[in-house]
């Protein structure tokens, strides 16, 4: 076994320990998904605390730069959530978000990241339970993947 392989396997095993606390960013549109998150809170639906919610006016606001910057700053996964198709308050913002997420999925693969580190989810203001379940599922996916390592790569490590 070469020294490089040994270092990699140590890194992989470290990143997938049970102690791994993933850093998840969840961009939620103001009109539906953020209200869904709010409903989850007032309904006292329990969900994993590792997601940090960032309110944006529309999922269409999310661009490739924001997603790449999130990984560059240490995020292990990025969730984008918006209104269901046909319900976007800016008419086609969620359609734009879907295209952006498809491009972002391809882009992060070229950077060595798994496409599963990105998730697009439609959540309405009435779907607090769905919001909580989506966060839990995504955190579990990211825990299984381990740390993204994108920040270390960006710093030359």
Q: Which of 11, 89, 107, 141 binds ligand FES (CB under 6 A)?
A: 89
Under the binding rule (CB under 6 A), the answer on residue 77 touching ligand FES is no
Query: Does residue 59 bind ligand FES (CB under 6 A)?
Result: yes
Name the residue nearer to ligand FES (CB basis): 88 or 113. 88
Residue nearest to ligand FES (CB): 82
Judging by beta carbons within 10 Å of its beta carbon (0-12, 13-18, 19+), is residue 136 exposed, middle or buried?
middle
Helices marked H in the chain — which ranges?
3-15, 33-42, 64-72, 93-110, 128-145, 150-154
Near ligand FES by CB under 6 A, which window of 4-12, 43-51, 84-92, 98-106?
84-92
Is residue 26 part of the contact set for ligand FES (CB under 6 A)?
no
In whole angstroms, give the CA distance from residue 72 to residue 25. Answer: 12
- Residue 55 or 151 having the CB closest to ligand FES: 55
Angle (CA) 112 147 51, round 5°: 115
Is residue 80 a contact point for ligand FES (CB under 6 A)? no
Among the listed residues 35, 88, 139, 142, the single contact to ligand FES using CB under 6 A:
88
Measured from the Cβ of residue 72, the count of other Cβ atoms closer than 10 Å reads 16
Residue 50 · residue 89 · CB < 8 Å: no
Residue 112 in tokens = 């060595």
Taking residues 120 to 149 in sequence order and writing x for each that binds ligand FES by CB under 6 A, - otherwise, the string is ------------------------------
Pairing of strands 77-82, 24-29: parallel
Binding residues for ligand FES, rule: CB under 6 A, are: 29, 31-32, 58-60, 82-83, 88-90, 93-94
């Amino acid at each position: 076994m070469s020294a490089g392989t040994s270092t990699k396997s140590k890194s992989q095993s470290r990143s997938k320990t049970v102690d791994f606390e993933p850093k998840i960013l969840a961009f939620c549109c103001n009109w539906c998904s953020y209200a869904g998150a709010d409903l989850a809170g007032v309904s006292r639906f329990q969900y994993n605390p590792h997601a940090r919610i960032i309110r944006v006016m529309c999922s269409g606001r999310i661009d490739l730069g924001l997603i790449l910057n999130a990984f560059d700053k240490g995020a292990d996964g990025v969730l984008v959530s918006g209104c269901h198709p046909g319900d976007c308050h800016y008419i086609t913002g969620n359609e734009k978000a879907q295209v952006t997420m498809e491009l972002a999925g391809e882009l992060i693969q070229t950077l060595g990241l798994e496409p599963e580190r990105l998730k697009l989810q439609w959540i309405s203001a009435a779907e607090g339970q769905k919001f909580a379940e989506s966060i839990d599922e995504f955190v579990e996916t990211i825990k299984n993947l381990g740390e993204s390592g994108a920040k270390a790569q960006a710093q030359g490590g």
